Chains A and B, each alone.
Chain A
Amino acid sequence: ETGVTQTPRHLVMGMTNKKSLKCEQHLGHNAMYWYKQSAKKPLELMFVYNFKEQTENNSVPSRFSPECPNSSHLFLHLHTLQPEDSALYLCASSQGGGRIFGSGTRLTVV
């Protein structure tokens, strides 16, 4: 248990489905992040939130929609995904230092 909790751990969805990934941290961190980890590729930063405000969108397709209702919760809403979006989606938080990661959601798009 790292202090960052992600649900669900595994998700299989069709290309026409809508689903959401959830991330929660009670570490008192001000920054939260979504990363994508695909096979044979480095961790890719998707979105950054500081004090609930989105400060970075790393050219992520609009079929991924983040939401940060408060500094402890972060969501990633998914719709009309493609098979190439299958990956491990990691949430992280930080207080200006190293990233504290959750265990990730293994997403498979069929």
Chain B
Amino acid sequence: TQLLEQSPQFLSIQEGENLTVYCNSSSVFSSLQWYRQEPGEGPVLLVTVVTGGEVKKLKRLTFQFGDARKDSSLHITAAQPGDTGLYLCASRETSYDKVIFGPGTSLSVIP
């Protein structure tokens, strides 16, 4: 079974700073998804990356999929308090019902 690691586990930064969080796997991803979960809510899908080396941008968020498709990063530029939440990466295996979630990075952006 594929295992996902995310780092850092916790991150607390000031508003306006940049940050990067990482997701790594013991094996190749077929595709990778990033979710954000705000306190008291369910996770919300941000993006899906499929191709090695792929880069996707969503406003101030930049998602990168490693060339070997075993790692991914999420970079946030000029973080805002509204970015606070738990960032989860999830790997989708060959069977579309198999989505494995990482433990998440808990981000706190201080005004």
A residues apposed to B, CB below 8 Å? 2, 4, 6, 31, 40-43, 45, 48, 50, 55-56, 90, 92, 94, 96-104, 106
Q: What are 17 A-to-B residue pairs whose CB atoms are below 8 Å?
A: A4-B42, A41-B103, A42-B4, A42-B101, A48-B97, A50-B97, A55-B97, A56-B97, A92-B42, A96-B96, A98-B35, A98-B45, A98-B48, A99-B43, A99-B90, A99-B99, A104-B40
| Number of A-B pairs, beta carbon distance below 8 Å | 47
Q: Which of A42, A55, A103 has the most CB of B within 10 A?
A: A42
Closest to A44 in B: B101
Q: Does B102 lie within 8 Å of A104, measured CB to CB?
A: no
B residues apposed to A, CB below 8 Å? 4, 33, 35, 40-45, 48, 88, 90, 96-97, 99, 101-104
Instruction: Add 8 more A-B contacts to A4-B42, A98-B35, A101-B42 (CB < 8 A).
Output: A42-B4, A43-B43, A48-B97, A90-B43, A94-B96, A97-B48, A99-B35, A99-B43
- Which residues on B sit within 8 Å (CB–CB) of A97? 48
- Which residues on B sit within 8 Å (CB–CB) of A99? 35, 43, 45, 90, 99
Q: Does A103 lie within 8 Å of B102, measured CB to CB?
A: no
- Which residues on A sit within 8 Å (CB–CB) of B44? 2, 101
- Which residues on B sit within 8 Å (CB–CB) of A96? 96
Q: Does A42 lie within 8 Å of B45, measured CB to CB?
A: no
- Which residues on B sit within 8 Å (CB–CB) of A90? 42-43
Q: Does A45 lie within 8 Å of B99, measured CB to CB?
A: yes
